[in-house]
Amino acid sequence: MKRVYNFSAGPAVLPEPVLKKVQGELLNYQETGMSVMELSHRSAPFQNIIEEAQSLLRELLSIPDDYHVVFMQGGASLQFSMIPLNLLGSDQEADYVLTGSWSKKAVKEAEKVGNARTLLPHEKFEIPAYTPEDFSPQSSYVHITSNNTIEGTRYHKWPETGGIPLIADMSSHILSEKIDVSSFGMIYAGAQKNLGPSGVTVAIIHDSLVGQASNTCPTMLNYETYVKHDSLFNTPPTFSIYVLKLVLEWVKENGGVEGMQADNERKAGLLYNCIDQSSLFHNPVPEKNRSLMNIPFSTRDEELDARFLKEAKAEGFEFLKGHRSVGGMRASLYNAMPLEGVEALVGFMKKFESEQGGV
């Protein structure tokens, strides 16, 4: 059976060469006579894996030396609590920009810890251009979701915070386009979209934000624990970190972040063009806010959407169903989605449209 085209929002498609490498060495990692899953996290072969993963990420994103790279567990959802527990005193405040479902989950956890101010754009698919006047000068940080997986929006310009540390949940588009890490106090991402399998969370944290947690903060929720112990305070998710390292190698071999960005612009361009030129399919996002990674679309007819999804699945296009809060379809075009997958999808959409008798 051939591999399908997997448009899942996450866990998502992985590069086929990475999967083949994992398969090839599954019972004997680099002549150790063991599976990588069986390696002690204190062993030299695993130490090499985690160090290489860190140094590849530093290289690919040109991470400055005054930022730490750490590997954690719990996904972005645990970060929603870790951020305020590390950086928000009970008498302090922080600003949360609510551009989508995930930002709303983030602020809920911050409200348990301190004063979380919320900034809510007027429209569901809007990403305003924020300036320092929008934020409280007392804020410990400003939190954004830089790409909204469900809504299919992204920032075209980072908020200007006037020196307040900017913290971004980049789970659904890290490594998809060039970013200047020094614009941020902290960047974090669950791996299961653009970095690897689920089970590992990456954070890039400026040194000034480490060591701020109170002494009642759980050890496993304190960023300092991960920084001090090189992410090896306790047993890390070793296999997920190993696959993440292989994905980073694949990104490097395929032109780095610049190469990914060029491919992603081409892939997303193909699909947006198809939608915009169609009289059947529609994307709800204003052009300047459109995500390169997650593209919702629909026929604005629930029955027709359902027929499209059914026929698409039969043709080997998997996980195209949109999130229930937006409806219709959603194609996630992460780094590992090959151009052929998008070409095939666009071909299928045109065929489907023509079969509707030019509706």
For the chain, what percentages of helix, strand and coil (3-state, to nearest 5) are there? 40, 15, 45
Q: Which is nearer to a copy of itself, 280 or 336 (CB)?
A: 336
Given a contact cutoff of 8 angstroms between Cβ atoms, the answer to whether 83 and 167 are in contact is yes
Q: Are the beta carbons of 76 and 102 closer than 8 angstroms?
A: yes
Beta carbon of residue 252, minimum distance to a copy of itself (angstroms, whole number): 20
Residue 168 makes contact with a copy of itself by CB under 8 A: no
- Is 358 a binding residue for a copy of itself by CB under 8 A? The answer is no
Is 63 or 107 the residue whose CB approaches a copy of itself more closely?
107
70 and 200 in contact (C-beta within 8 Å)?
Answer: no
Binding-site string for a copy of itself from residue 127 to residue 166, where x marks contact by CB under 8 A and - marks none: ----------------------------------------
> Who contacts 194 (Cβ-Cβ below 8 Å, separation ≥6)?
12, 172, 173, 174, 175, 176, 293, 334, 335, 336
CB 316 within 8 A of CB 3: no
**Where does this chain touch a copy of itself (CB under 8 A) — which range of 149-157, 193-201, 305-313, 340-348?**
193-201
Residue 179 contacts residue 158 (beta carbons within 8 Å): no
Tell me if residue 158 is catalytic: no
- Of 134, 178, 193, 207, which residue is the catalytic one? 193
Q: Strands, DSSP E only, in 239-280?
A: none
250 is a catalytic site residue: no
Footprint of a copy of itself on 70-89 (CB under 8 A): 73-78, 80-81, 85
Kind plus residue range of the DSSP H or E element containing 69: strand 67-72
Nearer CB in complex with a copy of itself: 26/306? 26
**CB-count burial class (<10 Å; 0-12, 13-18, 19+) for 31:** exposed
Asked if 20 is an active-site residue, the reply is: no
Site for a copy of itself in 84-123 (CB under 8 A): 85, 108-109, 112-113
Closest CB to a copy of itself among 264 and 332? 332
43 binds a copy of itself (CB under 8 A): yes
Alpha helices by DSSP H, 278-326: 302-314
Q: State how far the alpha carbon of 188 is from the alpha carbons of 39, 118, 202, 314, 350, in Å.
A: 27, 20, 6, 36, 37
- What is the nearest approach in angstroms of a copy of itself to the Cβ of residue 257? 22
The string over 109-126, giving b where at least 16 C-beta atoms fall within 10 Å of a residue's C-beta and e elsewhere, is bbeebbbbbebebeeebe
Q: Residue from 38, 59, 265, 355 that binds a copy of itself (CB under 8 A)?
A: 38
Using the contact rule CB under 8 A, the part of the chain among 6-14, 116-124, 138-146, 340-348 near a copy of itself is: 6-14
Contact residues toward a copy of itself (CB under 8 A) are 1-4, 6, 8-14, 16, 19-20, 22-23, 26-28, 31-35, 37-41, 43, 73-78, 80-81, 85, 108-109, 112-113, 190, 192, 197-200, 215-221, 233-240, 243, 316, 318-319
Q: Catalogue the active-site residues.
A: 102, 169, 193
